Structure 1
Amino acid sequence: MAKDCSFDIVSEVDMQEVDNAVNQTAKEIGQRFDFRGSKANVSLEGEQIKIVADDDYKLKSVIDILQTKVIKRGISLKSLDYGRVEPAAQGTVRQLITIKKGISKEKGKEVVAAIKDPKLKVQAQIMDDQVRVSGKNKDDLQNVIAKLKQADFGIDLQFVNFRS
């Protein structure tokens, strides 16, 4: 009797690495000459990164530094959801960046549709904020992973709990 193989598709972010990237960004802002005397600041507040800067130019510079640090820490930029740039106190501007974790129901449906598209003999089901894929053939599961890596769903996907 053949047993099913399975794996889970998740979208997770290591918050410790995000915290490290934010701290490195704050340190670099404090050391750079072009930020001397500036009100530029970056902080992690729960699941959001808050950036305050003197103007749009400095805000873009802080975001560029943050993105560099995030990439070096192995976090995908797809995990960052940029909010609106808002005016803040004392003539500064503020932007909130939300960290996207988990697969929403809509994205889960897109992933399941992409899995069923190539007509492989696998089943996919949405479970909370992840998608479980199962099938009898390991090769079919590996083909699903390869297909999903090529597709762009706007979120960072990881493949975990491969069971055979």
Structure 2
Amino acid sequence: MPSMDIVSEIDKVELKNAVDNSSRELSSRFDFRGKDASIELNDFVVTVSAEDDFQCQQLIDIFRMQLSKRNVDPAAMDVDDKAIHSGKTFSLKVRFKEGIETDIAKKLVKLIKASKLKVQAAIQGDSLRVTGKKRDDLQAVMRLAKESDLGQPFQFNNFRD
């Protein structure tokens, strides 16, 4: 009986590459010349700091673009609402959503059941196991999960026949 897991995880290597590329682009940008601005990664929390709030937002946009180039879905980003002002710099923290939270998993199971596909979905920790008799049904669940707007990107592993 075919089965698969629906997960939400970030490729840590690509995240580090996106941070490195963003800081490289930051050093070559004309509008940031002579400004105190940086993008740093510590324990998979990205800290963006600049001299004012507008520049912080620009750095977030640069970082989001680099994530897209590295095939990391920017929808996994959780950016602070307000920049923290300390001294002469503003800083924003960017966290990434890893794992599927219980309430989002329940909404996803509800969507799958409402689609009337002949599959079973079970929550297993921070992932979702979907089993069914046909591969086509599992592929329809993949399409449904990708099109759902639950504020989190999903990946699919352990696709077995």
Q: TM-score range by the shorter chain?
A: over 0.9
Which of 6, 11, 16 does residue 9 from structure 1 map onto? 6
Structure 2: 5+ residue runs without aligned partners? none
Structure 1: 5+ residue runs without aligned partners? none
Q: Indicate if the aligned counterparts of 1:86 and 1:95 stay in contact, CA closer than 8 A.
A: yes
- What's the offset of the Cα at 1:81? 0.4
Aligned partners of 1:143, 1:27: CA distance in 2, in Å? 41
Aligned partner of residue 162 in structure 1, secondary structure: strand
Structure 2 counterpart of 1:142, one-letter code: Q
| TM-score, normalised via structure 1 length | 0.93
The alignment covers a number of residue pairs equal to 161
Aligned partner of residue 88 in structure 1, secondary structure: strand
Q: Indicate if the aligned counterparts of 1:122 and 1:133 stay in contact, CA closer than 8 A.
A: yes
Partner of 2:77: 80
Structure 2 counterpart of 1:107, one-letter code: I
Structure 1 residues 110-149: aligned runs within 5 Å: 110-149=107-146
Q: Percent identity?
A: 39
Structure 2 counterpart of 1:56, one-letter code: D
Aligned partners of 1:42, 1:146: CA distance in 2, in Å? 35
| TM-score, normalised via structure 2 length | 0.94
* Higher Cα radius of gyration: 1
Runs of 4+ in 1 over 4 A off after TM superposition: none
Partner of 1:152: 149
